[in-house]
Structure 1
Amino acid sequence: MSATAALALAGCAPSTTGGGEDADASAGGSAGADTARVGIIYSETGPLAAYGEQYRAGLEAGIEHATGGTGEVDGTTIEVEYRDDAGSSDTAVAVAKDLIGQDYRILGGTVASGIAVAMAEQAAQNEVLYIAGPAATDAITGVNDYTFRSGRQSFQDVATAGAMLEDRSGKVVVFTQDNAFGQGNLAAVEAVLGSEGAEVASVLVPEDATEFTGFARQVVDEDPDLVFVAWAGATAGNMWQSLSQQDVFDSAPVVTGLADSATYAAYGSAGEQISFLSHYFPSAPDNEVNQALVDSVTEAGGTPDLFTVDGFVAGQMIVQAVAEGGDDIDAMIEALEGWEFDGPKGRTTIRASDHALVQDMFTARLVQEGETWTPEVIDTYPAEQVAPPEASGE
């Protein structure tokens, strides 16, 4: 989103400030009783910066929608401070401690699973509300009373993939990055498909790898009946090209999550061979809230995408917490636990027992129109059908 668009949106939704020592004094120190300060820690820079931009655009649209364009709840202004985690857990934790030291009682954000785990720990230690962003790791569901999520989790991805398969037996190879996100997906495949009789193997790729030929060959050598790919970041294009060159698509059906729109062309001819599970794309849901998301982000000069919805839902959750809880953390938690609301994906529930976000999921295909690839919904899987099992908690 351009700077001009960001300023235009800020004028009709929440007041916003940038990070760093030169930020306006109103973003730190004491605040009046009529201001609810929210610290958003997300990837403004780093390998997942594109996801961070989507999340921020959605967050601003969500607060705008939930407050009727005022940026206020019963006279209380929601003031958002944005800080960059640069894709680093250490940076995120340092920023979180700084904001908590300035008496910020609501924190949100991060697109990286490893960072979300670290942020959840800070939330519990300091007794502040934390609403994670697109980070998909199952580990933060039920981790503590203070941590919620505004996006889906890995189990929901895998449950959707499992719902697409008629035969759950055979050998499933998980091809993913060797990080919290990838390990979470592997664990989810083992939990969902492994429990139903599938043999689960894995090819874990170092997160900093840029050459994937050897790893793709390992997939073929495993002689799979199904390949489940979980991938995030800018190397997706090279990765898919390597899978195609090493004939992975000839060895077994390939299932993966539909990533953001920047990746559609990167699938190349393989796009027609992949079965996609989908968390969100702008034309998937058909309801008034989703239309509000699309209209708001578009009018601000942005483009709705995969993780815009997670920001939007975070905005709705922040407004609900402030509206019902004021500045009392326990009351905020109570306001969110068990809350059912209309989100961009339809009826959405925050499960009271472990804070899982129970929501619909989709399957999709990519259709080529000239030089453009466009996703189309195949099926919508109801929220309860793909809901994760209840986490045991601490």
Structure 2
Amino acid sequence: MRPSNVLRRALLGAALTASLLAIPALPARAAEPIRIGELNSYKAQPAFLDPYRKGMQLAVKQINEAGGVDGRPLELVSRDDGGNPGDAIRVAEELVTREGADIIAGTFLSHVGLAVADFAKRRKVFFLAAEPLTDKLTWADGNRYTFRLRPSTYMQVAMLMPAAIGAKRKRWAIVYPNYEYGQSAAETFKTLLRAAQPDVEFVAEQATPLGKVDAGPVAQAIADAKPDAVFNVLFGPDLAKFVREANTRGTLEGTFVVSLLSGEPEYLDPLKDEAPVGWVVTGYPWYAITTPEHQAFLAAYVDAYGEPPRLGSIVGYTTIRSIAAGVAKAGGTDTEKLVDAFAGLEVDGPFGPFTYRASDHQATIGAFVGTLALRDRQGVMVAPVYVDGASVLPSDAEVRKLRPAAD
């Protein structure tokens, strides 16, 4: 069944549950808005961040129509961070000092997220990192004022481990973008797989410039190493170039592949019938999720924008819902009270309820793992399984070793 047909069918049931995610209306009163200063790499990463912005805007609209948070409306002030740490710090400072932001949120690239987290620590400003995946954000470089929403690099690699171990392949190649996120993912994969399979060999490792992959030589280098399995971390246009080159050369024929993020519609849809069938991936199969929470979100999103959501839509929407829940629990936007409120905060989102852990400030929201296939000349995830983030996170005792003197 085509995703478009699934969308139409899902909406029939979803309309009945669209109110499940609404915050109860509170008595309206004149009040100052809650200003959320949001910064992100909109120009550099539009495939993910255009839907992300729509998700944020939908959540703001729903919350404000329901009376705001304790009578205060949300006001979103967004800026582009230029995709680099220096610009991001400058923008964050402007959001706080010039725009009067009570809270800062956002960022996409891991090295940018780390820079803004350090800014939040120095300026004692609450920062909800929506998207950057590096483990340093909540562990080695974690701080009191920074929380993270998305499942981290470690979490998503751990979600793929059962498939990687179960494949019983000995000779692995790795390809990843050569910056904080890719480096972190590669090291985590090697560490976890070696622990489970001590005789594993890593026969090739291709670290490519972000957004500038030279796919031909990369595919050839992997083919020359003759691996029987590949771990891929490329995403966006880099992923598309690599997949197309590998398909043309037959580089991955008969090779088992596990891949981060490749089941997210932002990166899967552009491949169309070139989608790499058989890859085991993390992603977002919006067309296969039938829970009431997701159906409510799906109906509201399609009604607002006339198109299905992307993973970015989920992240943007849940970022705003998290901030609203945190402010409600804190009784306002005082930074120290907000930090305390987020430690152990419970939030209801399109994937169901989740928690921000007090030990490392990581949300327990999960992700879907499935296998890529073609349906009507379009890549889809089949047999997707939701993996709860809490099930792949280290214990609080382990976190104390990973997060030395963060607070």
Q: What TM-score range do you get, normalising by the shorter chain?
A: 0.7 to 0.9
CA distance in 2 between counterparts of 1:267 and 1:156 reads: 28
Counterpart selection for 1:308 from 313, 323, 326: 313
1:84 aligns with 2:80: yes
1:175 matched to 2:181:
no
Deviation at 1:64, TM superposition (A): 4.1
* 2:17 aligned partner: none
1:237-269 Cα shifts (integer Å, max 9, x gaps): 211111223333136211113232453351645
Instruction: Provide TM-score, normalisation by structure 1.
Output: 0.84
1:97–1:265 CA distance, 2 compared to 1 (3 A): closer
Q: State the aligned residue count.
A: 362
What is the one-letter code of the residue matched to 2:70? Answer: D
- Is the Cα contact below 8 Å between 2:56 and 2:320 reproduced in 1? yes
Moved more, 89-98 or 262-271: 262-271
Q: Structure 1 residues 292, 89: CA separation in 2 closer, same or farther (over 3 Å shift)?
A: farther
Moved more, 108-117 or 266-275: 266-275
The answer to which of 115-124 and 366-375 deviates more is 366-375
Give the Å deviation of 1:210.
4.3
Q: Could you tell me which of 239, 245, 248 is aligned with 2:248?
A: 245
CA distance in 2 between partners of 1:155 and 1:168 (Å): 21
Which residue is equivalent to 1:27? none
1:339-378 residue CA offsets vs partner (Å, 9 max, x unmatched): 2333222231211100112233322233433233333333
Question: Is 2:124 the partner of 1:127?
Answer: yes
SS in 1 for 2:65: coil
Cross-structure match for 2:150: 151
Indicate the SS of the match to 2:50: helix
- Hey, what does 1:392 align to over in structure 2? 403
**What residue number does 2:338 align with?**
332
Confirm whether residue 263 of structure 1 aligns to residue 268 of structure 2: yes
- Once the two structures are TM-superposed, the CA of residue 121 in structure 1 deviates from its matched residue by 0.6
- 2:108 is the alignment partner of 1:111: yes
Per-residue deviation, 1:211: 2.6
2:232 is aligned with 1:229: yes
Instruction: Output the amino acid matched with 1:347.
Output: P
Is residue 208 of structure 2 the alignment partner of residue 205 of structure 1? yes
CA distance in 2, matches of 1:254, 1:210: 19
Change (3 A) 1:290 1:71: farther
The alpha-carbon distance between structure 1 residues 297 and 227, as it changes in their structure 2 partners (threshold 3 A), is same
RMSD between aligned residues: 2.5
Structure-2 residue corresponding to 1:17: none
Deviates more, 1:83-92 or 1:373-382: 373-382
1:49-73 Cα deviation digits (max 9, x unpaired): 22111211122233445x3733611
Amino acid at match of 2:34: A
Counterpart among 287, 305, 311 of residue 291 in structure 2: 287
Shift of 1:208: 4.2
Q: Assess if the C-alpha contact under 8 Å between 2:157 and 2:185 holds in 1.
A: yes
Separation in 1, partners of 2:390, 2:172: 24
- Which amino acid in structure 2 is aligned with residue 320 of structure 1? A
**Letter aligned with residue 236 of structure 1:** L
Partner residue, 2:362: 356
Task: Give ranges in structure 2 of 5+ residues lacking alignment.
Answer: 1-21, 23-29
TM-score by length of 2: 0.81
1:138 lines up with 2:135 in the alignment: yes
Cα 1:382–1:210, aligned 2, differ >3 Å: closer, same or farther? closer
Instruction: For 2:354 and 2:370, locate their aligned partners in 1 and report how far apart those are by CA, in whole Å.
Output: 20
Contact 1:236 1:266 in 2 (8 A): no
1:100 to 92, 96, 99: 96
Give % identity: 24
Partner SS for 2:144: coil
Q: 2:109, 2:181 within 8 Å by CA — same for their partners in 1?
A: yes
Describe the SS at the equivalent of 2:83.
coil
Structure 1: give runs of 5+ residues left out of the alignment: 1-12, 14-31
